[in-house]
Amino acid sequence: MKKFFLANVFISLSLFVIAQPTDLKVLETESSKTVKADIVDTTKKTWKIGGLYSLSVSQGSLSNWAAGGDDFSLTINSLFHIVCLYRRERISWDNSLDVGFGYLNTTSLGSRKSDDHFDLLSKYGYALNKKLNVTTLFNFRSQFLKGYTYYDTVKTFSSAFLAPGYVLVSLGLDYKPAKNLSIFISPVTSRWVIVKNDSLSAKGSYGVDSGRKSISQVGAFSTINYHVNFNKYVSFITRVDLFSNYKKNPQNIDFNMSNLLTVKLAKFLSINWSVDMIYDDQARLFGKNKTSAALQVKSLIGVGLLIKFPPRA
């Protein structure tokens, strides 16, 4: 719990030290424009930064409540999303970072996390034309704290920091048919699955050989990123990652999708709904014997603090 609050303090403080960037919607519009090679504008900023931070808290308590329920419940969810874009002539560098953490405490279930992830995506590209870039992509994702699965009230240790961790490096084409849509495709991609925890690596979790801490994979990869502001109150962000491992069961495509819908209620108040879906053929943690892969779905909805930077009036 202390780690969670410290993380939120760090994220909140970081919002005040970011230099005065432009609005995220304006950012994306300007980033799609090309810069003429024969014009040198030394006053034009090549970096654009924007993002959001949300925090929602809910608490409930019951005493002698005939309808039943938990005597006490507490839920905290936090999300940090930032994009940093660089543009100079034909060169582009797109970076995004997503960090989320959720905490749940009830009388019947005890304490457990409801969300825990961080995901860094970086794309460095050279424009062939206004819509198509040759791009190198780097992606790193994992989580912060230990995680457990629960089946028939049995608690089983299943994950930790860098267990698993995913590192992906890819070279391909990035197609941008619209200012808020990007489609990256690569036929040859290297991915490393890391299982740093000794007990999980000993069991051969997440596809690594028993006792080993990592495994390398080669396959095809695609990622689709889309962002839209329907109006000044409602915005939506989605990302879909697809990976096919040539070395083992290429037909079983790993699937990772994240969605965030934000509805602004007041200057610093909003409704946030996030839905994440994952299918990892090597994450065989489900079923009675915990040896089955399955579609993982996480849905979080909350009302709480929303800070967009740069701030809006």
pLDDT at position 28: 42
pLDDT at position 63: 85
pTM attached to this predicted model: 0.81
pLDDT at position 43: 43
pLDDT at position 289: 66
* Tens digits of residue pLDDT in 206-259: 989 999 999 999 999 999 999 999 999 999 999 999 999 999 999 999 999 999
Q: Please report, for the chain, the start and end positions of each structural domain, with discontinuous segments joined by +.
A: 2-35+45-307
Long-range CB pairs of 144-152 (<8 Å, 24+ gap) are 144/3, 144/7, 144/101, 144/116, 144/118, 145/3, 145/113, 145/116, 147/113, 147/116, 148/112, 149/285, 149/286, 149/290, 150/112, 151/286, 151/288, 151/290
* 2-35+45-307 has CATH 2.40.230 classification: yes
